[in-house]
Structure 1
Amino acid sequence: MTLALLAALSNAHAADAPMLPATTSDQVPQRLAVLAAPKSAAERAPVQFSWALDPNAALTSDAKPAVIESREYWQETDGAALQRGLDIATSAPGALIRVSPVTGAAKVSADSVRISRAGRAVRAAKRTDAAQLQSAGLAVGEGTAAVQLADEAGAGHYAVQVAQARGRYVVHVFEPRSEVRLLAALSHDHGLAGTSREVVVDLQRGDTRLKAQGGALLVAPSGRSWPLNLKAGDDGRLRAAVSLPSDAGEQPPGLWEVQVFAGDGEIQRDARTAIAVAQPTAKLDGGYRFDAAKLSFDLPLRAASPGRYEVRGTLYATGPGRALRPVAIAHSARWLDGGAGRIELAFDRAQLAKGYGAPYELRDVELNDQSRLAPVERRQRVARIAR
C-alpha cells in the first residue's frame, strides 16, 4: 500500500478537531427548527469557490449596525380631523408636510391642503402633487399631496386642513433643517428566532440630549407586529429588549423592522431600522477536519430542515513579523435534505501572498440558509492550525 493511499485513508478516518470556543458576540443556534422544504425552486448543484485578499488591506467583518437618524414623524388620522384641522408641531422653518390617503380614502390635491396658524393662513413655499412626487422617485400612492412651509413659518403649532377629506390618512412631517433628531441603533443587525437583541434610542436637540418618552414595535415581513417596551436609562437614552419570537411561523423572505417613536412632549420623531431574523434550521456541528495538502477545512453540520446551505470563511495566514493577516475567502454551498452533512471550505495555495503560510486561522465563518435568505450562524474564530 502506497504512502499516498495510507495518508488518504488516515484523513478519511481522522476524528474532527474541536472548533475554538464561541465568543459572546458569536451567533450560535442553541436549538434547531423544523420547517417544510422551501416552496420556491432552489438551486441544488453544489458550488465551491475562493479568491485571494490583499493581506495589507483593511478587512471589516460583522460591522456594527448603522445608527439611523430621523428628523421626521408620521401620524395616522381620519377625514373628520383633517376637515377640522389636524394639529402638528414643528421645530424649524421649511417643514415638509405630506398627506397620503389610505386605500378607499378621498384623494388629496396639492391645492386643497390648507396650512394655518392661530386661525391665519400660512404661505406655502411649494406645493407638489402625486405625479411630481413619483417622478422624483418617491413611492407614494395616487392622491398624495405635499406642501413645504415658507421660511417665515418658524417653529410652532400648525393646523393641516383638507376640506374634502374622507376616510383614513397618514400625515408625514419632515424637517430637514431641524436641530431635533432621533438616533436609533440595534445591538446587532441579525439574530435567531427565540433570542433577544437591544435597541437604543436617543432624542437630541443639537448636542443636547432631551428627556424623551416613546414606544417601539417589532414588525415581521408579513406585517405581524409585537410591542417593545422602551425604558429610560440612567444616561437618559431609551432602551428596549427586542425579543425575536420563536413562534412567528413561516414568514415571507425579507428583513424585519424595529420601528421606534419618541418625543419630548412637544416634538415627535419616528425611525425604522432593519434586522435579519433567522429560524435556526441548521448548525455547525462543533468540529472541523483540516487537509494541509488541499488547504481545506471540512466542516460537519446538522440540518433540521431541508434547504440549500452555504458556509463562507476567511483564511488568516502568518506573514512578515509573524503577524496573522487575511489572505483568502472561500464559499461553499450544497443542498441538504436534513440530518448530518459536511461542507468543505477549500482555499488555494496559489492564492497565498508571497511570504505567507502556517500557522493559519479560520475566522469570520458564516452558515447561511440560502433557500430562506437567513444568516443562521456566525463565528469570529473557528480553527487554529499550527503547521
Structure 2
Amino acid sequence: MNLKLTVLATPGAVALCVTALTAHAELLPQRAGDLTPSLLASAGAAKSAPVAREPVSFSWSSRAAVAAPQPFVATSREAYFTVTGAELAQGVALPVTAPRALVRLQPVGEASIRENEAIHPSALIIVDAAGRELAAGEGMEMLVSADRLARADIPFASGTSAFRLSAEVGSGPLRMRAQGLSAAQRYLVNVVEPDSPLALTMQAGAPAYLQGQKVTVFAQLTDQGAATPARIDATLMSPAGRSYRLVFKADGAGRMAATVTPDATDAAAPGLWEVQANVKATVQGRQALRSARFAVPVALPTAKLTRTADLAGTGNALTVRLGVEAASAGRYEVRGVLYGTINGTLQPLGVGNAAQWLEPGQASIDLPFDAALLAASKGPYELRDLQLLDQGRLAVLQRQQLALAIDESDVAKLVPTRSAVALPSSARMKKTAD
C-alpha cells in the first residue's frame, strides 16, 4: 500500500496534504462463461455512433443479487411461409396442429402494391379435413381486414389482413384457397398456434460473442414436451446482410447444435446478428412448420481490461482503477457490482458506472463506490459482474462474473470515513464530470 504526502510551506506553518491512498491489486482469473477478448481489432471512426467525450462516473445503492448472464431463449409456436396468387388459387395447406390458430396474410412488395393486393378474410375459402369447402367467412372468427388494421394503428405492414380459425374447424389437415388474385403476386402467410403442444426452442450458446469466436446455436423441437425429429433450415445473418448457413447435428443432450465462425470483416459491421430458422416435422402423419428469429450479439473487440485493478481512496469513495488497452478511439464504459460482508454473508451493496473517451493505447478508468454504500458492512469485499462496453459501437467487450477480491484491511485504510448509516436502495450516491 502506498501513501503519498505533500509538504507545503506556509508563513508560520507547515501543512501536510494527503493526496491519495492506493493499494495494488489484480483481476482474478476468468471463469467458464466469462466473455474475454484475446486479440484486439481496430475499427474505423465511421463504424461507431457519435458519442460525448466528457468523463462521467457515479454509483448507487442496490441490493439486487448478480445472476450469471444467460443467452436469450426463443420459443416459437408459429410459422412463416410464402405463397403466390396462383398457389392460393389451387389451395395451400395450413400447417396447423391445434384448434383456433391465428392466420395473417401480407402481400409482398411496395406499400402501394400491398394495399392493392390485400385479401379480405371473407374472400378466403377454408377446406376442412373432410375435403368440404366452407362458404366464404365460414370456419373463421375475428376477421380483420387490412383497412381495419390500418385504422386501428396496429404496426403491421400495409395490406395485412388476419383471422382466427374457429374451434369447430379443428386442427386439420386444412387448406386455404382464394380466387381472383394476380398469379405472380407473392403473399407472406403467418400461422400462430398459441395452444399447440408443438414448440420450437432455440438459443445461442453464450449471451454474447466476439470476433474470432465460434458462434454456437442450439435448437430443439418438442411435441408435448418430448423431443421430435425435425429438419432445420437456418442461417446466421450479419448486420451487413451476409448469411452463414447453420448445419445442425445432434449434440448428445437431446438438442441439435450448429457452429459457425463469422468472418472478421462481417464482425466489424455495427449492429446485431440474427438467426433465422424454419423447421419442418411430421406430426400425426402430416407436415408441421415452425419459424424463429432472434438476435445474437457479435462484437469487434476494440478494447480489453488489463489485469491491473488498483484500489484508491479518493475523496469519500473507494475507487477501483481499472487498466484498459484500446485498439480504437472511442467512449468506453466500465460497470460492476460491489459485494460486502453483512452478518457473515456476502451481499450486494451497490453498482458503480464510469465512462470516458480513450485514444488507442494504454489507459485507465476509475470505477467509484461511495463510502456510504459500504455502511454496516466489512470485508472481505468482491467486485462482481465487471463489464467493459464500447458505447459508440453498442457492444459488450468483456464480462467477468467474479473480478476482484478486496480485503477489509485495505478498505479500512483507503476509506476510513465509511458511513455508519446505509442510504435507501434507490439513492444515487455520487456523480462526477471532469
Instruction: Settle same-fold status: TM greater than 0.5.
Output: yes
Answer whether contact 2:232 2:278 (CA < 8 A) is retained: yes
Aligned 1:190-269 pairs, distance under 5 A = 190-248=208-266, 250-253=268-271, 255-265=272-282, 266-269=287-290
Aligned equivalent of 2:340: 317
CA distance in 2, matches of 1:324, 1:86: 61
Aligned equivalent of 1:120: 133
CA distance in 2, matches of 1:273, 1:287: 36
Answer whether contact 1:109 1:144 (CA < 8 A) is retained: no
Larger radius of gyration: 2
Answer whether contact 1:217 1:226 (CA < 8 A) is retained: yes
Answer whether contact 1:191 1:244 (CA < 8 A) is retained: no
Answer whether contact 1:29 1:192 (CA < 8 A) is retained: yes
Aligned equivalent of 1:41: 50
Answer whether contact 1:189 1:274 (CA < 8 A) is retained: no
Aligned equivalent of 2:59: 50
The alignment partner of 2:45 has SS state of coil
Q: Note closer, same or farther for the CA distance 1:219–1:138 as it changes in structure 2 (3 Å cut).
A: farther
- The answer on 1:382 being equivalent to 2:375 is no
CA distance in 1, matches of 2:152, 2:215: 36
The alignment partner of 2:168 has SS state of coil
Aligned equivalent of 2:375: 353
Aligned equivalent of 1:144: 160
Q: Note closer, same or farther for the CA distance 1:207–1:10 as it changes in structure 2 (3 Å cut).
A: closer
- Per-residue CA deviation, residues 45-97 of structure 1 (Å, 9 max, x unaligned), is 0010001223xxx4133432343221100002222222222222211111111
The alignment partner of 2:5 has SS state of helix
Out of 67, 70, 73, the position equivalent to 1:67 is 73
Output the amino acid matched with 1:290.
L
Q: Which runs of 4+ in 1 moved over 4 A?
A: 6-12, 134-138
Indicate the RMSD between aligned Cα atoms, in angstroms.
2.5
Aligned equivalent of 1:31: 39
- The answer on 1:363 being equivalent to 2:364 is no
Output the amino acid matched with 1:298.
R
CA distance in 1, matches of 2:331, 2:178: 53
Q: Note closer, same or farther for the CA distance 1:88–1:110 as it changes in structure 2 (3 Å cut).
A: closer
The alignment partner of 2:167 has SS state of coil
CA distance in 1, matches of 2:267, 2:253: 37
Out of 25, 36, 53, the position equivalent to 1:17 is 25
- The answer on 1:339 being equivalent to 2:355 is no
Answer whether contact 2:125 2:133 (CA < 8 A) is retained: no
- The answer on 1:275 being equivalent to 2:296 is yes
- Deviation, 1:132, is 3.2
Q: Which runs of 5+ in 1 are unaligned?
A: none
The alignment partner of 1:132 has SS state of helix
TM-score scaled by length of structure 2: 0.80
Output the amino acid matched with 2:91.
G
Choose 68-77 or 205-214, whichever is displaced more.
205-214
- Per-residue CA deviation, residues 279-336 of structure 1 (Å, 9 max, x unaligned), is 1011112211111464111111111111110000111222222x22221211000011
- Deviation, 1:135, is 5.6
CA distance in 2, matches of 1:142, 1:224: 28
- Deviation, 1:216, is 1.8
CA distance in 2, matches of 1:375, 1:210: 36
- The answer on 1:174 being equivalent to 2:192 is yes
Choose 144-153 or 341-350, whichever is displaced more.
144-153
The count of corresponding residues between Structure 1 and Structure 2 is 378
- Deviation, 1:44, is 0.7
Answer whether contact 1:130 1:140 (CA < 8 A) is retained: no
Out of 316, 325, 330, the position equivalent to 1:307 is 330
CA distance in 2, matches of 1:135, 1:183: 35
Choose 260-269 or 324-333, whichever is displaced more.
260-269
Answer whether contact 1:295 1:348 (CA < 8 A) is retained: yes
Answer whether contact 1:211 1:236 (CA < 8 A) is retained: no
TM-score scaled by length of structure 1: 0.89
Aligned equivalent of 2:421: none
- Deviation, 1:213, is 2.2
